[in-house]
Amino acid sequence: MGGKRRLLREEIMSNTVKPYNRGGKKEEVEQMFDNIAHRYDFLNRLFSLRIDTLWRKKALGLIRRSEPTNLLDVATGTADFAISAARTIPSLRKITGIDLSEGMLSHGRMKLRARQLDHRIELLKGDSEQLPFDDHSFDAVTVAFGVRNFENLRAGLLEMRRVLREGAPVIILEFSRPERFPVKQLFGFYFRRIMPVVGRMFSRDHRAYTYLPESVDQFPSGEAFLDILRETGFREVRCIPLSGGIASIYTGIR
């Protein structure tokens, strides 16, 4: 039994689900998000019926309690979470967003200029598993719907812990797998049958919205992910299920 658990943990730490199954996961994730960047925000709102904005608001409320002045948003994408943080957390003086996809970042920078936030938010192209920052550089680290795309989950979490100041929080918002009837059945049908078809029509990427449910299926949720946070050095970890378990907020302290 112990051997099986170790093998499962190793598989989780080095995620094998890839968008196109042609090369390394990191390169494929970058390509996928470059492909769908022009439709990403629109499809997010369409698929979630804007519930994702409520999830982000809940996560931001948890960050606000620690009154950070310097925040790192990993896998920032088009900077939705960074923009919301700038608007709702008065203590923040600087927000840095980092992402693999230049296509996503380009759309994010346009949004920052339109909202006159480019003086408070800086978007950088970079690797979440090799963050280009000094140790103990940030008062808080956030990830919204990005950790399941890490090629090596342990490496990414260790890097986030490294750049956090002692006692600072990590807040991770991610899809999870609902277990209760009827949310499990309804969400499963929508997530695996409806979303890939509509996503293909609008994004013109045949794999992006099929990869999404596949990556959620493999990703550990609930207590399994809390175990991984503990193993990578975070303390006081907890999981907050959202919308019947469709998504979860995971928190921890360095």
Task: Quick: pLDDT tens for 111-140.
Answer: 999 999 999 999 999 999 999 999 999 999
Q: Residue 130's pLDDT is what?
A: 96
CB 196 within 8 A of CB 216: no
Exposed/middle/buried for residue 117 (C-beta within 10 Å: 0-12, 13-18, 19+): middle
**Could you say which residues of the chain have pLDDT below 70?**
1-15
CATH superfamily of this structure's domain 50-179+220-253 = Vaccinia Virus protein VP39 (3.40.50.150)
Q: Where are the domains of the chain?
A: 50-179+220-253
CA 70, 96, 62 angle in degrees (round to 5)?
A: 55
Q: What is the DSSP letter of 70?
A: E
pTM of the model: 0.91
Amino acid identity for residue 237 in this structure: V
**CB-hemisphere CA count at 13 Å for 206?**
2
Calculate the alpha carbon distances from 153 to 25, 108, 131, 142, 179 in Å: 12, 25, 14, 15, 24
Distances (CA, A) of 70 to 65, 73, 157, 169: 14, 10, 18, 12
What is the per-residue pLDDT for 5? 43
* Total length of the chain: 254
* Whole-number pLDDT of residue 15: 54
Number of Cβ atoms within 10 Å of the Cβ of 165: 15
Tokens 């049958």: give the residue.
Answer: 193
Q: Which helix (H) or strand (E) holds 57?
A: helix 51-64
Q: Cβ–Cβ contacts within 10 Å for residue 15, how many?
A: 19
